[in-house]
A and B are shown apart, each in its own frame.
Chain A
Amino acid sequence: MALGERDKITGQMTTGHEWNGIKELNTPVPRIVYFFLIAMGGFAILWTVLMPSWPGINGYFRGLLGADQHAAVIQSVEQAQVERASWTSRIDSEDFASIQADEELMTIVRQTGAALFGDNCAACHGTNAQGGPGFPNLAAAPIMWGDDPEIVAETIRVGINGTSPETRFAQMLAFGRDQMLERADIDAVVAYVETLSQPDLVATADPAMLATGAELFAANCAACHGENAQGMIETGAPNLTDEHWIYGGDHSSIRSSVYNGRIGTMPSWEGRLTPTDIKLLTLYVLDLRASQ
């Protein structure tokens, strides 16, 4: 074996090996390395004694502390439920009017509802419930199926065109695609519907066309949207005379709605949200509307 030489800077001997000019010192391993090796090793062994660890043939060593992640999670969930029960029991048992009248409970509704809404509703209705293309504005627009608390809670529970057997069902028919109306008739009814929310358009429109449109509306649309076109909560058809639109109130959007029809979906939340959560969301949304 080659002889080592002394390194001037460290005073240590080299091992005597050399690879293309690289040498190695034979410096002893610093004590601190052994210290930490023993300390960390000791901690690791201690930890495996305390916690579930080493496997055997028929199971594993359970650890002296008896920790178990499944039991722990079940216990924390139960404990959290017990802690929340002080107010959830009141939400469950009291009716909407008395909860709405109780400022203390409504503070909890506002705190809790925001995260519930954000995680479950905001993806479609927007973080501020302001809606978006295809999804109604819950904060300001009239609610098509009715804004009575019981009705709103029921809409959340069963959804619209959803998977629940009790789901609310509504569809805007495809009058053009399914050839229920001629092209000229569609133009007429669209022109008429536009004037409902924008009366100043009447001045520039063709009166004969508007008259035809009004007739067609009465024959084809009024059954769902109502004779005055203000929508009907029995059918879930929207009000066409206000400034709120789900799919857009400009000419081409309205025409597309009449021609191709619309069938929006709101999921059935029963089974995905607890009855308490559904009630909380109902209160939260109605409170949001009240504050606007």
Chain B
Amino acid sequence: MIADLTRAERQWAMMILGALGIVGLAMAVAGRNDLLGIHGWIVLAAGLGGFIAFMRGKDAPEPSDDRLNEYYDAPTRLGIILTLLWGVVGMGAGLWVASLLAWPELTFDAAWASFGRLRPVHTSGVIFGFGGNALIATSFHVLQRTTRARLPDQISPWFVLLGYNLFCVIAASGYLMGLTQSKEYAEPEWYADIWLVVVWVVYFAIYMRTLARRKEPHIYVANWYYMAFILVVAILHIVNNLAVPVSFGSAKSYSLFSGVQDAMTQWWYGHNAVAFFLTAGFLGMMYYYLPKRAGRPIFSYRMSIISFWGITFMYMWAGSHHLHYTALPHWVQTLGMAFSVVLLVPSWASAGNALLTLNGAWHKVRDDAVLRFMALAAIFYGITTFEGSFMAIRAVNSLSHYTDWTIGHVHAGALGWVAMITFGSLYSIVPSMWKRPSLYSAKLVEVHFWLALSGTVVYVFAMWNSGVIQGLMWRTYTESGTLSYSFIDSLVAMHPYYIARAFGGLLFLLGALVALYNVVMTIRMPAPATEDAALDIPVQPALQAGE
């Protein structure tokens, strides 16, 4: 990495890392009587560690200019590995919290191992650690291939990738120490939020600058989705996290919103995090890797347009369906439900566009587990979006809300759609990223596929059953007109499903471990691939005067 930078670029990087270290030191000093101080030390260690690495490598010879004639894939390679590592961490934490619900004594009386602290490690670990790294890694890859242009500079992709992972580490370590602003999927405190804004602005700039340098006349659909993901997540993140810190030496802050406005802002954020992080970004991934792997053209460009604008417009207004039958005014609930119902059409148009793209390639779906991952992802995307629109209907929501049905719905999307499209995409680029002829083992991909599918099915069915039983028990009345069941009765009824859910999660985690092993072994394979590598380069710039 360092050897690929010019001397001037190394100096820039050292300045950035030095500044980061100074910020960390300032946090450590200002927050010495607070948990903020511990995060200060982590930031300082990150900045200092990077700085020392550059000090040791700063005198390496200048890289050859040839590298600028190739795509910049080193950040993607690290991003792929980080994706898989965070996947194991996040899914492992998920298995733990799932087990905690079945066997509550698994906290071992340690505060950091309580459900409330481990649960955000799971959600952030899989959404931001696994999903976010996958999006960053693949977006850099797709962006360059579909614009025929190299990323605009050598430092900022690393800044985005490593800076983003620093955010993830701050977030996860903070949860274990009990730091949270209690907003679901937006738990990190103010200083982590500010850092993420900096990283995200640079990310968006990379996208815009590369698009400006593109050698293709048109911007491919995948890039619409990736850009929507980056832009909207920035807006959501900034607005929902507006807060006033207690002091600059304190990790604690108070949200700018309160009461029902806070709830509405949070779920406007929360639902659009699902929409733009977990849907739009991964649709971008699907739009590139699925047709590429299938060797088929996209079924309909026109349907892409309808779906894209339908999804981006409609999702924005759907968040209030998370607050049916609450203090939120009835009229806001009606609007949230109306938009959610219409949203089904562009969602299914996207899923349909993906599946119809496979026309003429279904034999490949049968034979190739990598493509099958992506085809299955599209099916789960369709199932989950139907379920989502259905659950957004107020009357349905009165049964499903606060039950495990919601958890089942989320995991149909997270396991079936997000993780499957990610694994399919990663498997399809790992060989070319490391210039290997193929993956280490196609059979292990097959094993992973069946582990992932059976894990998802066990998980989702357990939670559907559990959720519907819960919802029905809470609303069953005796002949005398009083409740038939106490809350604790419903907990007893959940227990077998919680064990089944943990088992489903275990299968899925095993699949992720198989994937990590397969990718590591692929990287360690000796044979370099030469085929096609010559074609996988940006369009060469014309010779410039003086060269």
Contact = CB atoms under 8 A, between A and B. Distances in A.
Given A22-B292, A27-B303, A44 B482 contact: no
Interface in A60-95: 60-61, 63, 67-70, 80, 83-84, 87
Contact of A83 (B306, B481, B484): B481
B300 A29 contact: yes
A179 interface: no
A112 B334 CA distance: 35
Interface in A211-266: none
Contact of A47 (B330, B337, B349, B488): B337
A88 to B, nearest CB: 9
Contact of A55 (B296, B299, B331, B489): B331
Contacts of A68: 330
A40 B301 contact: no
B297 A14 contact: yes
Interface string B276-297: 0000000000001001100011
A19 B486 contact: no
Contact of B297 (A25, A80, A114): A25
B488 A127 contact: yes
Interface string A94-132: 000000000000001001101111110011000100000
Interface stretch (B44-52, B338-346, B369-377): B338-346
B26 interface: no
B151 to A, nearest CB: 15
A43 B341 contact: yes
A22 B488 CA distance: 55
A274 B99 CA distance: 38
Contacts of A28: 300, 302
B216 to A, nearest CB: 6
Interface residues of A, number: 57
Contact of A118 (B288, B310, B489): B489
A7 interface: yes
Nearest to A59: B331
B482 A52 contact: no
Interface in B301-352: 301-304, 306, 310, 325, 329-331, 333-335, 337-339, 341-342, 344-345, 348-349, 352
A36 B345 contact: yes
B335 A25 contact: no
B450 interface: no
Given A60-B329, A115-B485, A40 B345 contact: yes
B302 A10 contact: no
A37 B302 CA distance: 15
A70 to B, nearest CB: 8
A24 B331 contact: no
B201 to A, nearest CB: 26
A51 B337 CA distance: 11
Contact of B301 (A9, A15, A67): A15
B479 interface: yes
Interface string B206-223: 000000000011101100
Interface string A2-28: 100001011000110101111111111
B486 A117 contact: yes
A114 B487 CA distance: 11
Most chain B CB inside 10 Å of its own CB: which residue of A10, A23, A25:
A25
A48 B338 contact: yes
B501 interface: no
Given A40-B345, A48-B338, A118-B488, A24 B304 contact: yes
A198 interface: no
Nearest to B483: A115
A36 to B, nearest CB: 5
A26 to B, nearest CB: 6
Interface in B211-261: 216-218, 220-221
B487 A118 contact: yes
B39 interface: no
Contacts of B331: 51-55, 60-61
A213 B300 CA distance: 93
A112 B479 CA distance: 10
Contact of A17 (B218, B325, B344, B481): B218
A163 to B, nearest CB: 23
A24 B301 contact: yes
A175 B485 CA distance: 44
B129 to A, nearest CB: 28
Nearest to B216: A19
A68 B330 CA distance: 7
Nearest to B290: A22
Given A33-B349, A60-B329, A80-B481, A119 B335 contact: no
Interface string B352-388: 1000000110000000000000000000000000000
A25 to B, nearest CB: 5
B302 A119 contact: no
B458 interface: no
A48 B486 contact: no
Contact of A53 (B303, B338, B482, B486): B338
A28 B302 CA distance: 6
Nearest to A37: B345
B292 A27 contact: no
Contacts of B479: 111
B335 A48 contact: yes
B395 to A, nearest CB: 12
B300 A26 contact: yes
B114 to A, nearest CB: 18
Given A25-B300, A127-B488, A40 B342 contact: yes
B145 A25 contact: no
Interface in B466-497: 478-489, 492
A146 interface: no
Contacts of A21: 292
Interface of A: 2, 7, 9-10, 14-15, 17, 19-30, 33, 36-37, 40-41, 43-45, 47-48, 51-55, 60-61, 63, 67-70, 80, 83-84, 87, 108, 111-112, 114-119, 122-123, 127
7 contacts: A36-B345, A44-B341, A45-B338, A55-B331, A60-B329, A61-B331, A111-B478
What are the 8 tightest A-B residue pairs by CB atom distance, in nearest-first order? A118-B486, A9-B360, A44-B338, A27-B300, A23-B297, A24-B301, A52-B331, A112-B482
Given A9-B359, A21-B292, A22-B288, 9 more contacts: A19-B218, A22-B291, A28-B302, A44-B338, A48-B334, A83-B481, A84-B482, A119-B486, A119-B487
Interface of B: 145-146, 148, 216-218, 220-221, 288, 291-292, 296-304, 306, 310, 325, 329-331, 333-335, 337-339, 341-342, 344-345, 348-349, 352, 359-360, 478-489, 492
